[in-house]
Copies of this chain bind each other. A is one copy, B any other.
Amino acid sequence: MGGDRAPGEIVAGARQVAEQTDIKVVLVGRPGDMGDTGDLPVVPASEVIGMDDDPGQGVRRKKDSSLVRAAEAVRDGHAMAMVSAGNTGATMASALLRMGRLPRVIRPAIATPIPNLQRGRPTVLLDSGANAECTPQMLVQFAQMGAAFARKRYEVKEPRVALLSIGEEKSKGSPLVKETYTLLAEGAGGAGVNFVGNVEGRDFFEDITDVIVTDGFTGNVALKTLEGSLRFLISALTGILGLPELKEAADALFPHLLPLAFPLDPENTGGAMLLGVNGVCVISHGSSSSVAIVNAITVAHDEAVAGLVEDVAASVTPMESASGEEAGPTTGR
Contact = CB atoms under 8 A, between A and B. Distances in A.
A257 to B, nearest CB: 7
Given A228-B205, A229-B225, A217 B174 contact: yes
B256 A243 contact: yes
Interface string A212-225: 00101110111111
Q: Which 5 residue pairs are nearest across A and B when measured between Cβ atoms? A: A201-B224, A202-B228, A201-B225, A249-B249, A229-B229
Given A243-B256, A253-B240, A256-B246, A221 B200 contact: yes
A223 B117 CA distance: 22
A43 interface: no
Nearest to A129: B166
A222 B248 contact: no
A167 B231 contact: no
A262 interface: no
Contact of A202 (B132, B174, B225): B225
Given A133-B175, A253-B249, A231 B202 contact: yes
B260 A172 contact: no
Interface of A: 54, 117, 129, 132-133, 164-167, 171-175, 177, 200-205, 214, 216-218, 220-234, 236-237, 240-241, 243, 245-246, 248-250, 252-253, 256-257, 260, 264, 331-333
A229 B205 contact: yes
Contacts of A214: 221
Given A167-B333, A222-B201, A236-B260, A132 B228 contact: no
Contacts of A200: 220-221, 224, 228
Contacts of A202: 224-225, 227-228, 231
B133 A217 contact: no
A257 B253 CA distance: 14
Contact of A248 (B224, B227, B249, B257): B249
Contacts of A171: 54, 331
Contacts of A205: 228-229, 232
Nearest to A252: B249
Contacts of A227: 201-202
B218 A217 contact: yes
Given A175-B133, A228-B204, A233-B233, A217 B252 contact: no
B331 A172 contact: yes
A177 B331 CA distance: 13
A246 to B, nearest CB: 6
Contacts of A256: 240, 243, 246
B333 A172 contact: yes
B172 A201 contact: no
Contacts of A252: 245-246, 248-249
Contacts of A243: 256
A98 B203 CA distance: 34
Contacts of A172: 132, 331, 333
